[in-house]
Amino acid sequence: MNHDTPVSPRPLRHLADAQRRVLTAHQLREHGVAAATVAERCRPGGLWQQVLPGVYLLHAGPPTDEERLHAALLYAGRPVAVRGARPTAVPEQACPLRAGANGWPQGARATVPAPGDPYGEAMITGLAALALHRFSSAPPLHALDRIDVLVPRTRRLRSTALVRLVRAPALPLPATIDEVPVAPAPRALADALAQLADASVVRRLLTEAVRGGHCEPAAVVRALSQARLLSRPHVIDAVDSLLAEGLAIAEGRLYELVREHGLPEPVWNVDLRLPGGPYLGGLDAYWPDQAVAVEIDARTPRQDEDVLWSEYARKREHLERLGVTVVHVTPKKLREAAEQQATVIRTALIASAEREPAAYLVVLPR
């Protein structure tokens, strides 16, 4: 028996009812279809067609969007062996979405390739993945001439006219959306932007990533940095807008937190100085009567985080020596744990009555 011999010859009509009529040559052999039969059916005008090397569409018409995605994954994927070690997936940095607690859209789930999975570790990335993540500014799947597929760096395979392979030394943990393994939004965004030169398109995608709640700015910037895209002027300009957008959203959440949880109204976006003395730093919210301040952590991977954190710590220590209580919050905490942050701020405000009066400070609008 050679590799072209079907395992157990069966009538071909059983394939017509397959949920997805996209199969590899190996899968067809497992279904009892000989190579000669495949070649016969894929002749010009035949009932089947070869859409990618070793991947066949079991009808003559154009493939659907779903069939294109699965064909790309079947071509790029290396089936996980039933025996032996399971592959491991390296989680991306947290990128919570508006609808899911694990960083993926409602209904999606994190997946690790299981033994026998025909796609192996391959996952959809780039613009196709953004379309699956429901980015309104990404082209629809049917408008894409090429589908990007993320694969291990060691995968020996070539890109084709229909599939572009994106290689990585460590793969993120994918989501399953509509039965398709999909790269997390930050990784998919970085892979998409690597192929785009239109500054307006780049800006729209990055803006939607944050404004649409797909992920935090820091996660996006981290992915762009890892992809070495922050040296491109049009990407840098868009990232600056992205960070401003992310900070504005975080500030908006802080406003909502104060009002929805019944906290006293602070003075917003102020600078502090000692009378006739040096500048002490800017704050996002300040309660002068209680000497309680809130500062949003605006660090990003573009900056030296250790150096910037040292600056935060020095400012906080200086203010606390002057009797000011500083509450440090992150955009993620404001989004995911607003009630907890409100409790922290309320506790600091109440505790101010038991502290020594703070030094007199000059409060100026920023």
Q: Which residues pair with 148 in a beta bridge?
A: 125, 164
How many Å apart are CA 110 and CA 132, to the nearest integer? 15
Judged against a pLDDT cut of 60, whether residue 13 lies above it is answered with no
Q: In this structure, what are the phi and psi dihedrals at residue 326, rounded to the nearest 5 degrees?
A: -110, 120
d(CA 166, CA 265): 50
In this structure, the number of other CB atoms found within 10 A of the CB of residue 55 comes to 21
Q: What is the DSSP letter of 92?
A: P
Which residues make Cβ contacts (< 8 Å) with residue 148, sequence separation at least 6? 124, 125, 126, 127, 128, 129, 163, 164, 165, 166, 191, 192, 195
State which amino acid sits at residue 271: D
CA distances from 169 to 151, 160, 175 (A): 9, 21, 19
Which of 26-35, 75-84, 105-114 has the lowest average pLDDT?
A: 105-114
Terminal CA-to-CA distance of the chain, rounded, Å?
Answer: 80
Task: Please enumerate, as own/partner, the contacts of 262-266 that have beta carbons within 8 Å and a separation of 24 or more.
Answer: 263/342, 263/345, 263/346, 263/349, 264/290, 264/349, 266/294
Query: What pLDDT, in 10s, does the model give residues 215-227?
Result: 888 888 889 999 9
Residue 228: exposed, middle, or buried by beta-carbon count in 10 A (0-12, 13-18, 19+)? exposed
Alpha helices per DSSP H over 124-232 = 126-132, 185-193, 199-211, 217-226
What's the pLDDT tens digit per position in 132-186? 999 999 999 999 999 999 999 998 899 999 999 999 999 999 999 988 999 999 9
Q: Which tokens in the block code for residue 213?
A: 């709640």
Question: Is the pLDDT score of 7 beyond 60?
Answer: no
Q: Are strands 163-168 and 175-177 parallel, antiparallel or unpaired?
A: unpaired
Residues 302-312, mean pLDDT to the nearest whole number: 58
Question: What is the b/e burial string over 22-40, where b = at least 16 CB atoms within 10 angstroms of the residue's CB?
Answer: bbbbebbbebbbeeebbee
* pLDDT over 80 (residue 127): yes
Place 103 in a pLDDT band, splitting at 50, 70 and 90: very low
User: What percent of the chain is helix, strand and coil (3-state, nearest 5)?
Assistant: 40, 15, 45
pLDDT at position 21 is: 86
Residue type, 154: T
The yes-or-no verdict on residue 292 having pLDDT over 50 is yes
Within the chain, where are the H helices? 25-30, 35-41, 65-76, 126-132, 185-193, 199-211, 217-226, 233-260, 305-321, 331-336, 338-351
The tokens for 240 are 């600056």
0.75 cut: is pTM over it? no
By CB neighbour count within 10 A (0-12 exposed, 13-18 middle, 19+ buried), where does 74 fall?
A: buried
User: Average pLDDT, stretch 85-113?
Assistant: 45
Over pLDDT 70: what percentage of the chain? 81
The DSSP string of 250-261 is: HHHHHHHHHHHT
Structural domains in the chain?
1-63 (no CATH), 65-229 (no CATH), 263-365 (3.40.960)
- The predicted pLDDT at position 361 comes to 92
